[in-house]
Amino acid sequence: MRTPGALADAERWTAHNYHPLPVVIADAEGAWVTDVDGKRYLDFLSGYSALNFGHRHPGLVAAAHAQLDRLTLTSRAFVHDQFAEFCHRLADLCGKELVLPMNTGAEAVETGIKVARKWGYQVKGVPDGQAEIIVAADNFHGRTTTIISFSTDPDARNDFGPYTPGFTIVPYGDSDAIAAAITPNTVAVLLEPIQGEAGVLVPPAGYLAGVRQLCTDNNVLFIADEIQSGLGRTGKTFAIEHEGVVPDMYLLGKALGGGIVPVSAVAANKDVLGVLKPGEHGSTFGGNPLACAVGTAVVKLLETGEFQQRSAELGAKLHEGLNALVGRGVLAVRGRGLWAGVDIDSERMTGRQVSEKLAARGVLAKDTHGSTIRLAPPLTVTEADLDHALAQLAAIL
Ligand SMILES: Cc1ncc(COP(=O)(O)O)c(C=O)c1O
């Protein structure tokens, strides 16, 4: 079926929870995808960083194929032979003692919230039912009822109440606001080290280190949601490393599944994740054999440091190219590594219009919040591909 028919069918048969660009993708390899009409596009969104290693990375596909031929699902009622290696390697990558695998990013966030609350009651001594978690305005941590309870985006939140209590929202980037919000019942501060959906907002220098110090001083857990920012995207394994900060808990997802299966995880030390006892938390699919086989292959790629380095080097080139457009239709550029939020002059075009024009020229990107577009090519992208995408953006502007 060609594009118009496929779009009409999708419109007819699905709930309208997304507003996709009118592109119907049929196959893909590396940084490139092909639509049902045979038109090729450079993928500058990478599944919101779920495709950090590109589409169908040969090593990841091989790991998935090999596992598909052996064992795919056991449930956690039994142990399987892929489980320990994945958890061990990921724990080492994070420098933590324990890992708990889940599936989607939102599940990792939910797990982090539950673990922080339990830690608060059992270790910190917070009175039952009183645990508070500090979060930032303009956050994006997923779509469950608890997570949207502390969203400040009306689209994400409105008409989905009643909301889960126990969250204090402070402005992002302001550690004094966190200091003022901490009470004896605060169990955690939950932050994105770079706010992705908000437009790739990089906090002021010293912010994350300041939050780390406040958490240490007040016996509060620092939870870093690295679901979009982590696993090489910013030029380091974790975005929080840019400030030399180690959180108490990492929340990981997206790229952990290699663009093949949903894999998320929480990583923390025994004094934190160890509060969970048998029967208290779980997921039928979390840590399944296929997920673990792919996840192990992903961690092995990251262990080489090659992708982090590519992101840092090509990211410098991307930002140089984008900064050259400031004053020529671009108002500001933010980000780190191969990740950029580009504010387009709203008098010229909306972010949606830029995304549509880019798609017409064979580059896929997505707008967020009005006139901002997000660029996040696979970390496997070539320099020539980067130049091509930058040239298309320049031509549109
Ligand atoms: C920082 C962050 N946390 C959590 C999530 C939720 O992940 P998922 O869509 O896999 O539930 C996202 C998704 O965009 C995210 O960017």
Residue located nearest, by CA, to atom 10 of ligand 1: 105
For 130, other C-beta atoms within 10 Å of its C-beta total 14
Give the per-residue pLDDT at 208: 98
**Residue ranges in 233-382 assigned as alpha helix (H):** 270-273, 289-303, 306-323, 351-360
User: How far is residue 44's CA from residue 378's CA, in Å, rounded to a whole number?
Assistant: 7
Candidate from 202, 226, 254 with most ligand 1 atoms within 8 A of CB, to mutate: 254
Task: Give the global pTM.
Answer: 0.98
Quick: pLDDT tens for 210-267: 999 999 999 999 999 999 999 999 999 999 999 999 999 999 999 999 999 999 999 9
What's the CA-to-centroid distance between 195 and ligand 1, angstroms?
Answer: 11
What's the CA-to-centroid distance between 34 and ligand 1, angstroms?
Answer: 26
Query: Does residue 317 have an active-site annotation?
Result: no
Query: Does residue 254 have an active-site annotation?
Result: yes
Residue located nearest, by CA, to atom 13 of ligand 1: 142
Active-site residue, from 225, 248, 343, 385: 225
Which part of the chain has CATH 3.90.1150.10? 3-57+306-396
User: How far is residue 187's CA from residue 108's CA, in Å, rounded to a whole number?
Assistant: 17
**Mean pLDDT across the chain, nearest whole number?**
97
Beta strands 98-102; 40-43: pairing state: unpaired
What's the CA-to-centroid distance between 146 and ligand 1, angstroms?
Answer: 14
Give the position, in ligand 1's atom list, of the atom nearest the Cα of 139: 1
Active-site residue, from 140, 167, 222, 238: 140
Quick: pLDDT tens for 353-390: 999 999 999 999 999 888 999 999 999 999 999 999 99
What's the CA-to-centroid distance between 37 and ligand 1, angstroms?
Answer: 31
Query: 3-57+306-396 belongs to which homologous superfamily?
Result: Aspartate Aminotransferase, domain 1 (3.90.1150.10)
Per-residue pLDDT band at 49 (split at 50, 70, 90): very high
Which part of the chain has CATH 3.40.640.10? 59-303
Q: Which CATH number fits domain 59-303: 3.30.750.24, 1.20.58.1290, 3.40.30.10, 3.40.640.10?
A: 3.40.640.10
Give the per-residue pLDDT at 363: 98
**Side chain identity at 8, as an amino acid letter?**
A
Residue 131 DSSP one-character state = -
3-state secondary structure 47-95: HHHCCCCCECCHHHHHHHHHHHCCCCCCCCCCCCCCHHHHHHHHHHHHC
Percent of the chain with pLDDT strictly greater than 70: 100
Q: Is the CB of 138 under 6 A from ligand 1?
A: no
- CA 118 centroid distance within chain: 25
What's the CA-to-centroid distance between 140 and ligand 1, angstroms?
Answer: 7
Residues near 17 by Cβ (< 8 Å), separated by ≥ 6? none
Q: Is the CB of 110 under 6 A from ligand 1?
A: no
Per-residue pLDDT band at 120 (split at 50, 70, 90): very high
pLDDT score of 335 more than 90: yes
Region label for 376, one of left (φ > 0), alpha (ψ between -120 and 50) or beta (otherwise): beta
pLDDT score of 106 more than 90: yes
Q: What is the mean pLDDT of residues 91-113?
A: 98
Active-site residue, from 83, 254, 307, 385: 254
Quick: pLDDT tens for 167-201: 999 999 999 999 999 999 999 999 999 999 999 99
Q: Is the CB of 109 under 6 A from ligand 1?
A: yes
Query: Does residue 140 have an active-site annotation?
Result: yes
Residue 123 DSSP one-character state = I
Helix (H) or strand (E) holding 217: helix 207-217
